[in-house]
Structure 1
Amino acid sequence: MRKYKIYPQELKEEIISRFRQSGLSQTKFCNLDEVPITNSTLSEWLRNAGFDKFGLPFPKRQEPAQPALNMVCYNVGGDSRRRSNGGDPQQPSLAQMVAFHQEIQDICIELYRLACSKESITLLRRIKEVL
């Protein structure tokens, strides 16, 4: 039967830091008397913190370049037209629709990559302003 114990984040970070500074293998490090975790727990913590099994940061992956106009524009709903100064309905131009779609896509990609921080809160505000 497995035994589970919840560790505070500070202790996790301290153990990961000690492992990275020790230069030992995971097995040897976890066999030390002052280390209260198993090899599999250390492996999981390292992976979740963005390190490989040797305690080195994962290399950053390059995003493949996407074609510039790999997008679809939609005309949704009966009220999707806007009114010009004269009061008659006017369709947005294709360039305006493409620019709007690209801006939303860029904001969503940025938001997906960010952790909960001041930047992500600012992005949420920008999205609310657009919508």
Structure 2
Amino acid sequence: MSWQQYTFELGPMRRGFHLITSQVIEALPQISQYDVGLLHLFLQHSSASLTINENADPTVRSDLEQHFNRFVPEDAPYYQHDYEGSDDMPAHIKSSTIGCQLTVPITNGQLALGTWQGIYLCEHRNHSGARRIVATIQGQ
């Protein structure tokens, strides 16, 4: 059993749901060394999130963004935390709702995602910076 850990960065992205599967694979060529294992991804930020969803139709990503904007609106009168603008507290709520980590199986040197699945970075801020991800690979 082997353990490896890496940190990689994704450049700033506009607000929305972004398919990042290819960027994850590119940042972690070590995945190909594992016959069986797990890839754990942890996003080191509190105003963005990670999820797995549809990887083919981009309307899924825009529909998710529209839904979360209605589900967690900006400028709610009861928000107290708005130090960085009207998207500040909603970004934290969305991040807590979706989550900041994923675990994906590795099979024969590849991520064992379903045919229509992809890894998303969900950017909840209007003006974000780069996002750091800690990747831990375990397996053999």
Question: Would you say same fold, with TM above 0.5?
Answer: no
TM range (shorter): under 0.3
Query: Per chain length, whose mean CA-contact separation is higher, i.e. which structure has more relative contact order (CA < 8 Å, sep 6+)?
Result: 2
Task: Compare the two structures and name the one with the higher helix fraction.
Answer: 1
Task: Compare the two structures and name the one with the higher strand fraction.
Answer: 2
TM superposition score normalised by structure 2: 0.24
Higher Cα radius of gyration? 1
TM superposition score normalised by structure 1: 0.25
